[in-house]
Structure 1
């Protein structure tokens, strides 16, 4: 094997693996927690907000697919920004991705510990969270194929638990729980859409891992489309049953609305199965976060936007091993000290900026590369900008502050390691 090959990642992810990565990133806290928050701001009409959020996510997803098919490299929008726009756009996308995903990973790790503790209280939730982070970091370290197989198993358990809830809950749906349908009007539906949009953004993990997908030009667009359609249908089914069984108000007043649904049903072991599904959902998101963050670090290390050691690829396992270890360490620290609330709030702005750059890059592609034309990225960009301006002012300011801090750090790294654009 040549030295050049040792510096490359393995293209071993099939269509099934790529869809698994996307679903593993999407079916997490969103379906188990955010649906309840959305019900609180819009009532049963959050189903409309869910469709709107899924539609905007689909526009963004198609833009990502169009770009990844032509530029199948680790880093996703970070790479597209550099190649099609300018270094400032590219760095902004990469830095915002790291900020939002690292902060979210800390929350997910803590959430997993809480859910798993309900199943098997073998240790404190914090100890369980730490064990999960170490286990998933090791799974990532020993190769993308092993991580992909583990992810498929996790996603399968989560999907089966949710389908078990849907099929057993449909008979208990009461239509009077859907009235009044939209007690907070259009404003409530719009707010629900903004909340739920973030539940769908995991599909971008497929593009971030593009360098490890086999036949990326065909596989990535298919994987993103299948992932988004599956996620929208699943969210709608689960949300419809949840409202019909316990009502929007009960959902809104619960931190774990799907467990409330399970408790309202008489099906044997359903609460246990839903709790298992919630645990594996958190585990799947955490696994995909480590995958995506480490690949973004790899891409940014190649351009000295992070220290160049991050571009190091393990000669045997062919993974960005240093990035995986550092990602695991940061998530462990967040699990121990708790997440920083202002970063979590600002993450909503940062991820919208990330997808705005995705759509701008898709608009800049040559006409012959625009698989879906210009309408899709225009609609995706419009959706992102509308949601951006609807965010609270302090969230926008926090997001801009985090972005500026990134450029200061980047300037420092370039002074030390040189500029590679």
Structure 2
């Protein structure tokens, strides 16, 4: 698939379904519980606070969308714009952060998304292990992805609708089992631990920003509305679910658990069934929303020859067929590694926060050093997307996300060491390819200057 514009256009309803599926999918069934076990009742407010860095990131994201809608956006914007005066360094540093996200998402997060649903199926059929059910759900999900973004969109809309019905039922029933005693003490952990819990939630509350990685497959209005619409909906739903999680069960009992466990403590067997069914649907919606994005990261890296191009050979539906097979196999193997949920959640939170921080730093770069970008005709009359707004929102975002990332690393040092090992592997891959094909050939001719047609002032 070309990284320019796909012939398959994603409509608003599909984009919203993908955005909702990314955040309210499998992550909703585990992330609030993991974060609550760390931060305690204050996690409810932390979940709402995720809106702050999300909103601070919007000016940068919307500026880039306005001038260069491309798939995957996170890859091309950062590798081409982070350090304008040193394209090789910009390309290498951006690749490392993108590789970290790409590797963890592909190898750990996709299997992690089906854990709650697999546990539900295992409770119905104890003779079949949760690992086997996880494998079945993964194979089904990757089979859907094989048939391209159009089929993904159709399946997402159906599954998201059913999942939201289940979430609504869980919330309504869960509210009646809330005990105010569970909200005290409200902030039992220290400040650093509380910030760590916030960083874990960030990967849930800001996941809709990943829709930018499908930017070449939808028009600008659809892309912007889907980010805002799914963001508002996801954050609202996550706050309500976190409120029920904390109020239903003491945070001291939540370590290593999922929403299915919370439901099992208080709800009727009928509601427990609905919760499990919702978890099952949520895991699939997350995978079929995230996997196409991971695919596009892979194809972009192949375009830049960091990865051998033959590995990104497309099937008839525009997806990298060899990579989907590899992704399926590695995900199945990961299921049987039994990596602790808290380690997986922390590792992904580090990788995702680093990715968002990278993009916000791009906002700093374009607002200070590449202001000619704002002469683009799509930005001329905008009062929001100006150098000053992007500059100060980006600076605020760097402080906000950077602080959360620092504390997350400090309190999850084992996950960070794993992340560093993954980055080292990415650096080694980059170095090997640079030797084999030459570093100049790893930065393709396609640059932002090729894509953006500046609307220069008349007296320029």
Residue of structure 2 equivalent to 1:53: 50
C-alpha deviation, 1:255, in angstroms: 1.3
Change in Cα spacing, 1:122 to 1:281, as seen in structure 2 (3 Å) is: farther
Q: Is the 8 A contact 1:112 1:282 kept in 2?
A: yes
Alignment correspondent of 2:391? 374
The question of whether the paired residues in 2 share the 8 Å contact of 1:346 and 1:395 is answered with yes
1:96 corresponds in structure 2 to 100
Aligned residues of 2:3 and 2:72 also touching (Cα < 8 A) = no
- Whether 1:408 aligns to 2:422 is no
Aligned residues: 413
Distance in structure 2 (CA, Å) of the matches to 1:44 and 1:208: 34
User: Partners in 1 of 2:11 and 2:428 — Cα distance?
Assistant: 39
Q: Does 1:42 align with 2:39?
A: yes
- Counterpart mapping for 1:209-248 below 5 A: 209-213=214-218, 215=219, 217-248=220-251
Matched, 1:388 2:392: no
Which structure 2 residues correspond to residues 83-232 of structure 1 after superposition, within 5 A?
A: 83-85=80-82, 86-102=90-106, 103-120=108-125, 123-184=128-189, 186-213=191-218, 215=219, 217-232=220-235
Q: Deviations over 1:267-320 (max 9, x none)?
A: x71111011011111122222232111111011100001111244333x32333
Report matched runs for 1:324-363 at 5 Å.
324-339=324-339, 346-363=347-364
TM-score, normalisation: structure 1: 0.87
TM-score, normalised to structure 2, is 0.80
The change in CA–CA distance for 1:7 and 1:53 in structure 2 (over 3 A counts) is closer
Helix, strand or coil at the partner of 2:30:
helix
User: Quick one: distance in 1 between partners of 2:329 and 2:4?
Assistant: 24
Q: Which moved more, 1:59-68 or 1:123-132?
A: 59-68
2:299 is matched with which residue?
298
User: Offset at 1:193?
Assistant: 1.0
- Unpaired stretches in structure 2, ≥5 consecutive residues: 83-89, 367-372, 444-460
User: Per-residue deviation at 1:184?
Assistant: 3.1
Change (3 A) 1:395 1:142: closer
Structure 1 gap segments, 5+ residues each: none
Partner deviation per Cα, 1:354-386 (whole Å, 9 max, x = no partner): 111111112233334572632322222222211
Greater Cα shift, 72-81 or 398-407: 398-407
Distance change in 2, residues 1:68/1:324 (3 Å) = farther
Q: Structure 2 CA distance, aligned partners of 1:408 and 1:5?
A: 26
- Deviation, 1:330, is 2.2
The offset of 1:262, in angstroms, is 5.5
User: 2:442: which partner in 1?
Assistant: 420
Question: Following the alignment from structure 1 to structure 2, what is the Cα–Cα distance between the partners of residues 55 and 135?
Answer: 36
RMSD: 2.9
**33 and 420 in structure 1: CA distance in 2 versus 1, 3 angstrom threshold:** closer
Secondary structure (helix, strand or coil) at the match of 1:183 reads: coil
**In the superposition, relative to structure 1, how do residues 150 and 61 fare at CA in structure 2: closer, same or farther (>3 Å)?**
farther
CA distance in 1, matches of 2:256, 2:421: 33
Moved more, 319-328 or 269-278: 319-328
Encode CA deviations 1:157-193: one digit per residue, 9 max, x unaligned: 2211111122233344343443332233544532321
In the other structure, the counterpart of 2:276 is 275
